[in-house]
Amino acid sequence: MSSTLSPAGAVPIDPSAAQPPVAQKISHETHLHDYTRTDDYFWLRQKSDASVTAYLQSENAYTDAVMKPTEALQKQLYDEMLSHIKQTDLQVPYKQGEYYYYSRTVEGQQYPLYARKHLRLDAPEEVTLDLNALARGHSFLGMGLYQVSDDGRLLAYSLDTTGYRQYTLHVRDLRTGKDLAEAIPRVDDAEWASDNKTLLYVTEDDVSKRNDTLWRHVLGTSKNEVVFHEADELYDVAIHRSLDRKYVFLQSSSKSTTETRYVRADQPAGAWKVVLARRTDHRYDVEHHDQRFLIRTNDGADDFRVVAAPVATPDRAHWTEIVPQRAGVHIGEMAVFERYLVLTERSGGFAGFEIYDFQTGKRRSVEFPETVHTAGPSFNREFVTSTFRFSYTSLVTPNSVFDLNMATGKRTLLKETEVPGYDKAAYASELRYATARDGTKVPLAIVYKRGVKLDGSAPLLLYGYGSYGISTNPAFSAARLALLDRGVIFVNAMIRGGGELGEKWRAAGNLRHKLNTFTDFVDSAEYLVAQKFTSKDRLAIQGGSAGGLLMGAVTNMRPDLFKAVLAQVPFVDVMNTMLDASLPLTTSEYLEWGNPNVKSDYDYMMQYSPYDNVKPAAYPAMLVDVSFNDSQVPYWEGAKLVARLRSLKSDKNPLLLKVNFGAGHGGASGRYDALKEVAFNYAFLLSQIAP
């Protein structure tokens, strides 16, 4: 591929091509803290009401009519994206027990097949799950669990067929390929005990979808016994098994505090013991190694440290520090092998690894040649090994899988994802820093095709998230090439509220500091304009879920700064959602956003809640994507935002709502359907910023 830029080929769209829907106004008042809020579109929450469905369908019809001129471009974009994907491909196999496990895709099929081979990679293939077969008759299919018993004979797996992230647990006999009688609903997590017949699994409640109960089930019986119930509505529970297979851990987690229980894997009916009792703002994780627990803790270390303690006495008085806190380094995941401890760490905004040798006490850092990159553990299922498997990618490097020799530091590339028609040398990536209004330096990861003029004329897509301490890792996207090849610059803004620069970075963008998230993004956009990466009339922004909250907030704050907005499954009806404890996620989110039942929290949240701050003003072009079966952010949040915007905005720019009636929070589940959604969104963006 040459470095020559392709013409954008964008097609302008006309919002007056059809009559936009006008949502009925039905006044609904909320009285709290001596305030009255009026919500004319509260009725859109009635999912089973035929008038709601009819309205959403009318929005889809309007969107289709306005976007009709872009159909040829959508097809062109889809074909281009597909041309960069090796449709028949194989995941690097990983070893677990006596088998090598992997997934593979077949051209023309929406979903992967999961398979294994016994002892050798040249052995006959055994297909464990064919998701294409399981998807028949369903418009959506999501797989949750994939857990093989210790003896390799049984597979516990879970499926969601609606998009609501409500999974049913099944057990398959891999010797026969047949499922057993078990079909347990609402399962979010599970682990096998050592006896190959006991399942320990976690279910969600039937109202708020909080993971709150641990159960024990013995195959072949009808008995499901409650082992633990988490009563505190701020907490969710999750289960995992140590890599040495000796212990099962149950962690109760709020946004600020954790507590871990454990049981021996060979004694699943035994009593569960607490490692360290919950203490406000103490977060910790536990693994097992050689008759001791390894504990990653923020006790005395904002960005965590690692200590060891005897299993019998894991209290703080018996801690021995293994890896201390270090300035500017955030310690993340632990991978514990027979001789080595591997820590996923983040420094300067980007991830790397630290290897600790239990025998020598020496540490080895694993560094990478590209400043802007992403690295993380891959499938590591063997305890007695000197090999650590990890994945690596960057904005210009396709996803790659490496084996690292923990003794020597030598890394071996097993596979770099093949991207047909891609020439890495034709693209450039760089790191810049925008200065926020309070002087904070905000990292910006940037990628573009060589030859783009940095004189303010280039179209640019600015992406952000900035919540929950989640890092927006800069990764390669084959689909994004369709934008880059048209001269669009892509920028990932690592704003406060995310986890890119550690716990202080996260804390500086949540609760009473949440406004920093939005002003960081605005200041990043202004920096990119000032540095002539783009101009206001070529600047588009994108975010989803909590990133959709970001989109709504910054658009209200600075509607003049952006040309186009893509808000995907956006959390924008902040006040109504956070005042409804019956909705999924609400109560556990009090520690992220605040509790509006508290007046001071209410007052702060009202400053940015996108739905509550829509005003009579000129707004940029907007496409709002929602999913009808979304359990994380209900469809009505984006639908209500569009309805209120349409009634108040003073401009004639496109305002489109696209409702996916057969998907959930992540959009379409099939890989070809997902690409069509991307092509649609890209066509919209290009129609606005790259005419």
Cα–Cα distance, 495 to 506 (Å, whole number): 9
Nearest of 505, 531, 530 to residue 517 by alpha carbon? 505
Check 189, 303, 612, 630 and give the catalytic one. 630
Cα torsion angle, 129, 132, 133, 139, sign: positive
Residue 208, CA distances (Å) to 212, 274, 323, 589 in order: 10, 26, 38, 12
Check 545, 627, 631, 669 and give the catalytic one. 545
pLDDT of residue 1: 32
Cα–Cα distance, 568 to 17 (Å, whole number): 24
Cα–Cα distance, 477 to 174 (Å, whole number): 35
Q: Mention every residue, 6+ apart, whose C-beta is less than 8 A from residue 375.
A: 344, 350, 351, 352, 353, 366, 368, 390, 391, 392, 393
Q: What angle do CA 633, 638, 639 make, to 5 degrees?
A: 120
SS3 (DSSP) at 351: strand
SS3 (DSSP) at 68: helix
Cα–Cα distance, 11 to 29 (Å, whole number): 43
pLDDT of residue 338: 98
Q: Is 659 exposed, middle or buried (0-12, 13-18, 19+ CB in 10 A)?
A: buried
Cα–Cα distance, 163 to 330 (Å, whole number): 34
**Residue 593 carries which DSSP code?**
H
Under-70 pLDDT residues of the chain? 1-9
User: 665 an active-site residue?
Assistant: yes
Cα–Cα distance, 255 to 295 (Å, whole number): 18
CB neighbourhood size of 430 (10 A): 12
| 682's tokens | 């890209």
User: Looking at the whole model, is its pTM more than 0.85?
Assistant: yes
Q: Mention every residue, 6+ apart, whose C-beta is less than 8 A from residue 315.
A: 276, 309
CB neighbourhood size of 345 (10 A): 22
Cα torsion angle, 310, 316, 319, 323, sign: positive
Q: What angle do CA 149, 155, 157 make, to 5 degrees?
A: 125
| 333's tokens | 């995941």
CB neighbourhood size of 510 (10 A): 23
**219-233 CB burial, b ≥16 within 10 A, e <16:** beeeeeeebbebeeb
Check 403, 665, 669, 687 and give the catalytic one. 665
Residue 239, CA distances (Å) to 153, 307, 528, 578 in order: 21, 21, 44, 27
Cα–Cα distance, 158 to 144 (Å, whole number): 5
| 259's tokens | 């507590």
Cα–Cα distance, 445 to 473 (Å, whole number): 9
Is 399 in contact with 414 (CB distance < 8 Å)?
no
Q: Mention every residue, 6+ apart, whose C-beta is less than 8 A from residue 18.
A: 61, 62, 65, 66
User: 31 an active-site residue?
Assistant: no
Q: Is 168 exposed, middle or buried (0-12, 13-18, 19+ CB in 10 A)?
A: middle
Q: Which domains does the chain have, with CATH numbers?
A: 23-83+421-689 (3.40.50.1820), 87-137 (no CATH), 144-282 (2.130.10.120)
Amino acid present at 429: S
Q: Mention every residue, 6+ apart, whose C-beta is less than 8 A from residue 199.
A: 156, 169, 171, 182, 190, 191, 192, 193, 216, 217, 218, 219
